[in-house]
Amino acid sequence: METTPSAFALTGVAKHFGDVRAVDGLSVTAAAGGAIALLGPNGAGKSTTVSLLLGLARATSGTVRVLGGTPEEAVARGRVGAMLQHGELMPELTIGELVGFVRGLYPRPLPLPEILDLADLGPLVKRRAKGLSGGQAQRVRFALAVAGAPDLLVLDEPTAAMDVESRRRFWDGMRAYAAGGRTVLFATHYLEEADQNADRVLVIARGRLAADGTPAEIKATAGGRLVTFRLGDQPAAGLDALPGVTSVEIRDGVARLRTDDPALTTAALYRGTTLEVHDLEVSGGHLEDAFLALTRES
């Protein structure tokens, strides 16, 4: 028996547009099931990664596998659904006609009432696509994405243009969909959305994977505060044993200590070690800082 293929697997994937390395050596595998956030600042390579997974773009190097095949195969077999950032709808058609059409393209679609319910579209069924608000159009795009009951649902910045209430309902719909054993990958630059709606968070920055874990793990590795100082050639042994320290990273002679209690760590650094501490800095403390720390130019 073959093992169940992963929802998707990127191996050393790079995508260059001229000199711009939109994706620059990305390797990540996702087992089937659950909600995965692709979190990163604007320009981090999220949309390019989404395009690669959907077969809308081809990798410059590396391999992209989706549900055990190429992205094109997975899309052609109706196993992938996607909500793109800028997909306009045909203005002359009603919401019901659009959803019905896309639904009909898939081998085993969701029942129409279930789609309308997930996307909260009931009252809009007879409306033409022309003249919908931005948030309403987003909900229609979500309906088109889930219509075919895809095993992998890919959402690129799905809540842009939605108001607070729409967002709440949207995430309810997304979680209901993912609860059925399907995989949902959503790209976002909102930390809060990733934290609240994902089982796993992939943080990307400058086309690379900066962190990968549950929201709790991401906060633990990147959270807390950062104590940095110039270590030079001195030995790093014992730094991780200092009080409060959760992780130690040495790069180019600079030590970066993540700590729950910078005061305690700093005090111990001076009093409990014989190190010469130069250029000491303390930073961070919020979730936003954690995110910035993970995605910052290093």
Q: Is 104 in the site for another protein (CB under 8 A)?
A: yes
Q: Is 20 in the site for another protein (CB under 8 A)?
A: no
206 within 8 A of 24, measured Cβ to Cβ: yes
Q: Residue 240 has what DSSP assignment?
A: G
Can you tell me which of 80, 124, 191, 226 binds another protein, judged by CB under 8 A? 80
How far, in Å, CA of 225 to CA of 258, rounded? 6
Site for another protein in 145-174 (CB under 8 A): 148
Closest listed residue to residue 71, CA positions, set 134, 150, 140, 168: 150
Q: 3-state DSSP call for residue 100?
A: helix
Stretch that binds another protein, among 36-44, 82-90, 177-185, 244-252 (CB under 8 A): 82-90
Which helix (H) or strand (E) element contains residue 76? helix 71-76
Q: Is 86 in the site for another protein (CB under 8 A)?
A: yes
Q: Which residue, 97 or 249, has its beta carbon nearer to another protein?
A: 97
Give min distance, CB of 16 to another protein, in A. Answer: 10
With contacts defined by CB under 8 A, how many residues of the chain interact with another protein? 31
Can you tell me which of 13, 23, 35, 54 binds another protein, judged by CB under 8 A? 54
Can you tell me which of 7, 84, 99, 116 binds another protein, judged by CB under 8 A? 84
Q: Which residue, 141 or 206, has its beta carbon nearer to another protein?
A: 141
40 within 8 A of 124, measured Cβ to Cβ: no
158 within 8 A of 138, measured Cβ to Cβ: yes
Which helix (H) or strand (E) element contains residue 171? helix 164-178
Q: Which residue, 36 or 140, has its beta carbon nearer to another protein?
A: 140
Give min distance, CB of 6 to another protein, in A. Answer: 20
Site for another protein in 129-148 (CB under 8 A): 141, 144, 148
Q: Is 75 in the site for another protein (CB under 8 A)?
A: yes
187 within 8 A of 50, measured Cβ to Cβ: yes
Q: Which residue, 24 or 289, has its beta carbon nearer to another protein?
A: 24
203 has which bridge partners?
Answer: 39, 211
290 within 8 A of 275, measured Cβ to Cβ: no
Can you tell me which of 25, 41, 62, 78 binds another protein, judged by CB under 8 A? 78
DSSP E strand stretches across 40-174: 61-66, 80-83, 152-156
How far, in Å, CA of 258 to CA of 289, rounded? 12
Give min distance, CB of 194 to another protein, in A. Answer: 23
Q: Which residues bind another protein (CB under 8 A)?
A: 17, 54-58, 75-78, 80-82, 84, 86-90, 92-93, 97, 101-102, 104-107, 141, 144, 148
